[in-house]
Structure 1
Amino acid sequence: MNYRFLLLAICAIIGINRIFSQLPIQLPALLSDHAVLQKNAINTLWGKGPAGKNIKIIGSWDNSDTINVIVGNDCMWKTQIKTPSSDGTYTLQFISDKQNIIVNDILLGDVWLCSGQSNMEFNMNWGIDTTQESYKIKENNSIRFFQVERNFDNNLVSDVKGKWVICTSENAKSFSTVGYFFGRKIQETLHHPIGLIGSYWGGTNIQDWMPKESFNQSDLQISQMHIDPYEGSPRGYSILYNGMINPLLNYNIKGAVWYQGETNVDYDWNIYGKLLSTMINGWRFYMHNNIPFYTIQIAPWNGYASRRAAILREQVAQLGQYIPNYGTISILDLIDDTTNLHPKIKREVGIRIADKILNEIYHQSQFPATAPKIFNVVFEKNMAIVSIQSTGPVHSSKKNITEFELAGRDSIFYPAQAKIEKDNRIILSSKNVNAPQYLRYSFKNASVPNIFDNSRLSLLPYRTDDFEIK
């Protein structure tokens, strides 16, 4: 009887091995027609195939450079290929026995990941008037989109659903509007291909997008307590990282742009900086790539409690002091309605983040990257004297300068009257504060600043106090 079972087991193993040996080559969704590969870089190629079989890979940019990789016993394979920086349209060929797969219409350029929640997800089909001249789409073969299909999982997922598409009017309308105008500005400036990967989901919080290992830190474990479903969006720590980021990790990218935080204001406003830095470090660790990471601070909205959105923005703004290769922009002035959580001014947001990245990553100094900021405050009798660091003189876009507040010993803040002096100083006073000791500027949930310099960027939020805000 034992011999019969042994024979059956041997036959089963032989049968399974034959099935595995006959598996076809399978490529991940990212390695598909119309893809953009990172130029002048080592790019990872990976997939599935028949165990023990050799796969020959040829990039048409150099037909003499053939790569061979043996599929592992787990039917998985991974290798790397060097891409040049030359222009043109290329193919990738994968050959194993009688199977021959050709990935067509590949461009070599820069690939950027656009991620976050609804304001990154917001596309032109959500109510933007595309007949406006500024929002007209330019079809461009050198811009390609890969939109990751929504997916969440409690376990790591190896692949996503999606495909690379060329920038046409219809394809651009359904992609992130911020992402589109960001990519368009980069491409039109540098004149090389840009690939945009969109991995976003409205109503989600940052914990969804973080690797599970992030929560081994005791100071972040409490942040899991408030992850609940929100208007149909999934909530559960790491579930979107598992389903929508992990499958992208092998793909070489130039950098990432992150626009998220609205859903975290209620519970995590005071630890968002820690959450964000941990997420960034986690992504970089598992990508094996210290990618440039840029953030867009959340827009003004009057529906948040207390001053929690201001605290969250402050943490995002200060993060560059603690982690390298990081940048952020404020968009408080790019708003048309502070009662709308999803402002429709998206083109200008995409252009502003593109300008900063063009300056700091691509060394295009003609684009503004540094907004004016307060660098010194002196309190004298019933006044506060503010010194501004800026590009050229600062000015107000309106007759009345708003968003300055002063407080005395009682720590109660009142609106302040402001006057701009010629030496880039601003003199402040308030009839309700006889001896000011504290100053704030644009430090409310729905602040809309109206002071600018020659860069056309608005004066950044600022405060002299460090009071806890609940």
Structure 2
Amino acid sequence: MKLALSILFLLFAHTVSARVKLPSVIGNNMVLQQQSQAKLWGWAKGNAQVGITTSWNNKEYKVRADAAGNWMVKLVTPVAGGPYQIAFNDGDLVTINNVLIGEVWVCSGQSNMEMPLRGNSSPILNANDIIVNADNPQLRLFTVGRAATLSPQTDCKGQWNESTSETARDFSALAFQFGEMLQKKLRVPVGLIVSSVGGTMIESWMGKSSLDGFPEVKVPVSIDTVKQPYKLPTTLFNGMIAPLLNFDIKGFIWYQGESNRHEPQLYGKLFPVMVADWRRQWQQGELPFYFVQIAPYGSADKSRSGPLLREAQLKAMSIIPNCGMASTMDVGMEKNIHYMNKTIPAHRLGYWALGKTYGIKGIGYNAPLYKSITIDGNKATLSFYFANYLTSFEKPLTLFEIAGKDKIFYPAKAVLKGGQVIVESGQVKVPVAVRYAFKEFVVAELYNNDGLPASSFRTDNWDDIR
């Protein structure tokens, strides 16, 4: 009897171990990137042959697992559509259902990306109306479970869900509204993968090798006794980005920087390196990377750390290929870093994706960008890219400052003339430099006719910020 039970147990164990195991990002309700060489991968018994059959073409792909049971296959996805099934068979059949083919975006960063539609200590503007109208079987949502490790992981916690009022409520408010805009405009399935943790610095989201050139960033050798390991370099890349690297996507949206505001110069160096490393590890070329500039916040900090971090992000646009920045100069809150209006930055990211990545004509996505300064007597004339006309929407311009060679800035009178701003002050006879909105908290005044606000900027590069 004992022998029979032992044989039965071994047979059962063999059956379980032989069954194909898939990473959480490959499962029911997922979206695969359309018209791509999409990768599917997982684990099986060592050296087992795995057959994968896709219902959109009824084609079977065969792959043999290595000795450790790892396997991967590339398959060609069709144009957007579905729902489909994908069957995996190594002797035991595993089938995933309700699979769509469409557009997939990874959405990452810290708390203003993580903040769900239900809100937290702060509410989300118009959340209940957004939640009520969230039912959309063509929009799929995946949130990566929080995980901080010192070694790159091959899997993460999470599951794909159809967008409903229930599932959208706990999903990133910003990412949801970005994806909703894309889905409605493109009329194809959209999949959103959110990987975000509040209160984190960019170093947490960077792989170890990408930090080799930064000796000032110390990668820990152990996190066993650390209470908040997700705040340490490399830990979130390893736990929450590495498991996604094989999943083909269309692009990234990113909202992070508040936790790096007191090291703007270092951030300006780290950010392009992180983007380049993510692209290298995804192995899909220069994937679109659209990011939100941190919003104005607070007024007690006299070091100008906020505008300096915004400046570092603004400069990144000229360093990082195929990127774009959404300005939030008009939605920040002086006393709350988690501002309520996530619709505006979500839509501005959507403008970048729709206009630049998908090539839809007529959509403005570039905000006014400072181009040059010309001095004539006591007046400074500023010119801009992406602004044939500038506007303040009939409100006075109060955020310009002007300085002479003494580097002392005075409030300036500013007048719009087409796509230029003419700035002067009776206290500055020979202007040398102009700044706009270069403070911790401001509310935007300068826009182009697409309603996009100019970033804070300065024409000088003086280290002595006053």
Q: Which runs of 4+ in 1 moved over 6 A?
A: 18-21, 228-231
**In structure 2, what residue type is equivalent to 1:84?**
P
Distance 1:151 1:384, change over 3 A: same
Matches of 1:261 and 1:70 in 2, distance apart?
Answer: 44
Residue 192 (1) aligns with residue 185 (2):
no
Q: How much has 1:159 moved relative to structure 2?
A: 0.3
Question: In the alignment, what sits opposite 1:179?
Answer: 175
Q: How much has 1:418 moved relative to structure 2?
A: 1.2
TM-score normalised by structure 1 residue count: 0.90
Residues 416-451 of structure 1 show CA distances to partners (whole Å, capped at 9, x for unaligned) of: 111223x43322222332322111112222232212
Matches of 2:434 and 2:346 in 1, distance apart?
Answer: 31
Residues 173-207 of structure 1 show CA distances to partners (whole Å, capped at 9, x for unaligned) of: 21111101100111100000000000000001100
Question: In the alignment, what sits opposite 2:306?
Answer: 309
DSSP-derived class of the 1:224 partner = coil
Q: How much has 1:331 moved relative to structure 2?
A: 1.2
DSSP-derived class of the 1:110 partner = strand
Matches of 1:246 and 1:108 in 2, distance apart?
Answer: 23
Indicate if the aligned counterparts of 2:113 and 2:174 stay in contact, CA closer than 8 A: yes
Distance 1:235 1:133, change over 3 A: closer
Question: In the alignment, what sits opposite 2:337?
Answer: 341
Residue pairs, 1:316-327, within 5 angstroms: 316-327=313-324
Matches of 1:85 and 1:411 in 2, distance apart?
Answer: 58
**2:22 aligned to 9, 22, 27, which one?**
27
Question: In the alignment, what sits opposite 1:72?
Answer: 66
DSSP-derived class of the 2:375 partner = strand
Residue 82 (1) aligns with residue 79 (2):
no
Seq. identity, %: 33
Question: In the alignment, what sits opposite 1:393?
Answer: 389
Q: How much has 1:320 moved relative to structure 2?
A: 3.2
Residue 222 (1) aligns with residue 222 (2):
no
**In structure 2, what residue type is equivalent to 1:90?**
Y
DSSP-derived class of the 2:18 partner = coil
Q: How much has 1:237 moved relative to structure 2?
A: 0.9
Matches of 1:204 and 1:374 in 2, distance apart?
Answer: 30
Distance 1:262 1:107, change over 3 A: same
Question: In the alignment, what sits opposite 2:249?
Answer: 253
Residue 123 (1) aligns with residue 116 (2):
yes
**In structure 2, what residue type is equivalent to 1:109?**
G
**2:51 aligned to 50, 56, 62, which one?**
56
Q: How much has 1:129 moved relative to structure 2?
A: 5.0
**In structure 1, what residue type is equivalent to 2:113?**
M
DSSP-derived class of the 2:454 partner = coil
DSSP-derived class of the 1:221 partner = coil
Q: How much has 1:469 moved relative to structure 2?
A: 5.3
Q: CA RMSD in A?
A: 2.4
Q: How much has 1:130 moved relative to structure 2?
A: 4.1
TM-score normalised by structure 2 residue count: 0.90
**In structure 2, what residue type is equivalent to 1:24?**
R
Indicate if the aligned counterparts of 2:45 and 2:68 stay in contact, CA closer than 8 A: no
Question: In the alignment, what sits opposite 2:7?
Answer: none
**In structure 2, what residue type is equivalent to 1:327?**
G
Q: How much has 1:136 moved relative to structure 2?
A: 4.9
Unaligned runs of 5+ in 1: 1-14
Indicate if the aligned counterparts of 1:24 and 1:50 stay in contact, CA closer than 8 A: yes
Distance 1:141 1:272, change over 3 A: same
Matches of 2:288 and 2:385 in 1, distance apart?
Answer: 26
**In structure 2, what residue type is equivalent to 1:222?**
E
**2:374 aligned to 365, 372, 378, which one?**
378
Indicate if the aligned counterparts of 2:142 and 2:158 stay in contact, CA closer than 8 A: yes
Distance 1:81 1:122, change over 3 A: same
Unaligned runs of 5+ in 2: 1-9
Report the more deviating stretch, 426-435 or 251-260.
426-435
Indicate if the aligned counterparts of 2:314 and 2:455 stay in contact, CA closer than 8 A: no
**In structure 2, what residue type is equivalent to 1:100?**
L
DSSP-derived class of the 1:234 partner = helix
Residues 98-157 of structure 1 show CA distances to partners (whole Å, capped at 9, x for unaligned) of: x10000000000100000000001112112254665675331000000000101111111
Residue 37 (1) aligns with residue 37 (2):
no
